[in-house]
Structure 1
Amino acid sequence: MDLQKPPAGTPEQQPARPDPEGCLVVAIRLPVRIVVLVLVLPLRMAWDALAVTGRFLGDSVLRPVGRALLWSARALFVWPFAALWRYVLVPVGRVLARLGHALVAVPLEWLHRSVLTPLAHALAWLARHLLVAPALWLYAAVLAPAGRAIAWCLTGLLRGVGLVLTGVGTVLYWILRVLLVLPALVLWRWALVPVGRLLAVFGQEVGQALGHAWRVAGRISLAVGRALGSLVRWIFVEPVRRLYRAVLTPVGHAVRDAVLRPAAEAARGVGRAVRPVLASALESVRRARADVRRMLFGEPPKPAGAVDRREPPGRAARTLGRSTTALTKD
């Protein structure tokens, strides 16, 4: 089995190596990337700042304003026009369509069926005998032979002209090939192609440098943003949080325990003490109102059906399931 294994240096086990790059590509790449990074970094930071600002404005201002404007436009334009279309224009259009069908379409259909169609048939019979038959005879007897003769003459003339033009075209082709095509081919092969390759390499490196610089500038911008956020947090947020936790929270608890809770207990005690007084005062006012009403208007009359008697009316003579009867209920 060991004798059947391929040697270590065979092409099957060796990894594929990338194509080596020329010294010109390596010499162009580093300066181009440095210059592009210096130019792109401020643009990327400004772009990130504008993106954050635009996102904040879009979420906080533009989207609510756009919704309000959309609702206003719908209320001012869409709904009135929809109502006008549905309740005015559509019924009027239906009425006009029915009137047009009754006043225009039906008479025109009758005119077409009863007048124009027979008249057109009569004219077609007359045209067939007066125009078509003489035209067919003229074509078969005169125009066709004359056309064949003219076509034969034109065919010979065109053949001669074609031979002349073919010779002239061949001469012009070789003249243009020698004077223009061959020099242009030499110029393209030995001048333009090398210059184009050089410009292509330079453009490719510039494009790669722009992409690399944009990514590096994004990372630098992210790092700067995080540093600014940390700085703002340590300068403003952390002192405020520590002040709130170390000073305001204990002071608030002390004020709550020393002032607010006793004041609330005192207020509840006062409320509990005042509530019976208010209830008795209201009861006194209610009784005084009843006495004044009785003094002014007298006792209210009793209902006619109310009779003071010992026996209960109707079926309520006894109450089952209770220890009292209807006679001893009062």
Structure 2
Amino acid sequence: MDLDKPPAPQPPEGCLVVALRLPVRIVVLVLVVPVRLAWDALVAAGRFLYATVLRPLGRALRWAGRALFVRPFVALWRWVLVPVGTALRWLGRVLVVAPLGRLHARLLTPLGHALRWAARGVVTHLLAPFGRGLAWLARAAGALLAAAGIGVFTGAAWLVRYMLVVPARWLYTHVLSPVGRALLWVAEALVTGAGTVLYWTARVVFVLPALALWRWVLVPVGRVLAVVAREVADALGHAWRVAGHLSRVVGRALGTLFRWIFVEPARWVYRTVLTPVGHVVRDVVLRPAARAAREVGRVTRLTLAAARETLRETRRDVRRALFGEPRQPAEADRREPPARDPRTLGSSTTVLTKD
């Protein structure tokens, strides 16, 4: 198992690392602890502000935005724009699309067929024969011009060959090529010598000093700076963790102090003073006041009901004294009609033979 394996051997540390570690960690711890305490305080304040102010404010702004913008626009779209768009689409289809379709089908299509038939007749019987005649004339003229051009081109080519090409080839072969080879050899020799001189000059003047500076100055300084940077980074991490523990301890101590100074006294006052006082006020003042209010309300309702009934009786008596008794409606006979006698063989349903 991995737990049974011995820890990997750590490389030996130099005296510079050991000498730098403790002072760097002390300095970094002194500098980081206030920063971590301030950071934790800001985080706690931000969480409290977010929970108590920003979240309710955001919800209120979201509700207000929905009530002021979203719902009016939705209602406008649903009840105004969509019906108007539907009506405009129907009007466009009735007033524009249908007439244009009829115009295209009844007028433009037959006119186009007629124009196409006329253009086809003109092309077939007029332009095609004229074009064939022009083509025949062009072929004849082209044949004559080709014969004349071949003779002229042959003579010009012979003159150019023996007056320009042959002398130029002899000049390139016997004069320009040897001179060019000699110039190329001289240029290669000069470039090789100059390049060798410049190479050794640059090596001695620039490369060797830069190599010595890199090997004997920059590399040792870089190693020392790397050790210092690594120790500073480790010290920062260690100091940040230690400052986190200290901040947690300080926060718990402040929370405990706040609880014992404010919360516990307030709880004690609520339990031992306010709750009994509230019970006494509820039993002595509020409940009798509520019962009295209910009684007053019941008496008031009964009084108002009696007053309304008295007012109705008075109005009924005045109407009876002025206009007399109201006419009673005749009762309609809602009974079922009596059943007729059943038909027999001797009975008749006609008027003349009816019994």
Q: What TM bracket, shorter-length normalisation?
A: 0.5 to 0.7
1:227 and 2:220 are equivalent in the alignment: no
Residues of 2 paired with 1:165 and 1:297: CA distance? 143
Question: Partners in 2 of 1:225 and 1:56 — Cα distance?
Answer: 14
Residue 113 of structure 1 corresponds to none
1:48 corresponds in structure 2 to 40
Deviations 1:24-54 (A, max 9, x none): 2111111111111111111222222223333
Separation in 1, partners of 2:178, 2:310: 138
Using a 3 Å threshold, how does the CA distance of structure 1 residues 152 and 254 change in structure 2: closer, same or farther? farther
Distance 2:293 2:261 in 1: 43
Amino acid at match of 1:34: I
CA RMSD of aligned residues (A): 4.6
Structure 2 residue 232 is the aligned partner of structure 1 residue 240: no
Q: Distance in 1 between matches of 2:326 and 2:179?
A: 134
**Structure 1's 163 and 270: CA in aligned 2 closer, same or farther, altered over 3 A?**
same
- Superposed, which structure 2 residues align to 1:8-23 within 5 Å? 15-23=7-15
Tell me which residue corresponds to 2:128.
none
Residue 241 of structure 2 corresponds to 215
Aligned-partner Cα distance in 1 for 2:187–2:325: 140
Shift of 1:188: 1.7
After TM superposition, the runs of 4+ consecutive aligned structure 1 residues lying more than 6 A away are 140-143, 151-155
Does residue 174 in structure 1 map to residue 192 in structure 2?
Answer: no
Q: Equivalent of 2:24, from 26, 32, 40? A: 32
CA gap of 1:272–1:164, structure 2 versus 1, over 3 A, is same
Return the alpha-carbon distance in structure 2 between the equivalents of residues 213 and 171 of structure 1: 59
- Aligned-partner residue type, residue 211 of structure 1: G
1:68 to 47, 61, 72: 61
Task: Tell me how far 1:13 sits from its aligned partner.
Answer: 7.4
Q: Deviations over 1:86-129 (max 9, x none)?
A: 999xx9xxxxxxxxxxxxxxxxxxxxxxxxxxxxxxxxxxxxx9
Decide whether aligned partners of structure 1 residues 36 and 312 sit closer, same or farther in structure 2, where only a CA change above 3 A counts.
same
Q: Bigger relative contact order, structure 1 or 2, given CA contacts below 8 A and separation 6+?
A: 2
- Work out whether 1:283 is the aligned partner of 2:309: yes
Tell me the amino acid that sits aligned with residue 272 of structure 2: A
Instruction: Choose 197-206 or 162-171, whichever is displaced more.
Output: 162-171
Mapped to 2, the partners of 1:226 and 1:58 lie a distance apart of 21
Q: Distance in 1 between matches of 2:233 and 2:27?
A: 13
Question: Which structure 2 residues correspond to residues 304-323 of structure 1 after superposition, within 5 A?
Answer: 306-307=330-331, 312-314=334-336
The answer to whether 1:196 aligns with 2:215 is: no
| TM-superposition CA deviations, 1:272-309 (whole Å, max 9, x none) | 45544443232112222222344445544455xx247x
Deviation, structure 1 residue 61:
4.4
CA-to-aligned-CA distance 1:203-237 (integer Å, 9 cap, x gap): 11111111221222222122212211111111111
The AA in structure 1 aligned to 2:39 is W
- TM-score norm. by structure 1 comes to 0.59
Give 1 or 2 for the bigger CA radius of gyration: 2
* Residue of structure 2 equivalent to 1:249: 275
| TM-score, normalised via structure 2 length | 0.55
Q: Aligned runs of 1:100-111 on 2, under 5 Å? A: none
User: 1:191 is matched by which residue type in structure 2?
Assistant: V
C-alpha distance in 2, partners of 1:251/1:307? Answer: 71
Which stretches in structure 1 are left out of the alignment for 5+ residues? 1-11, 92-128, 130-136, 318-330
Which stretch shifts more, 154-163 or 38-47?
A: 154-163
Distance 1:71 1:268, change over 3 A: closer
Amino acid at match of 1:17: P
CA distance 1:67–1:190, shift in 2 (3 Å): farther
CA distance 1:285–1:239, shift in 2 (3 Å): same
Select 2:287's aligned residue among 261, 273, 276: 261
Q: Which amino acid aligns with 1:51?
A: V
Structure 2 unaligned segments of length 5 or more: list them: 89-144, 146-155, 340-355
Question: Which amino acid counterpart does residue 30 of structure 1 have in structure 2?
Answer: L
Matches of 2:212 and 2:199, distance apart in 1 = 18
Instruction: Give how far 1:59 is off.
Output: 4.7
1:210 maps to a residue whose letter is L
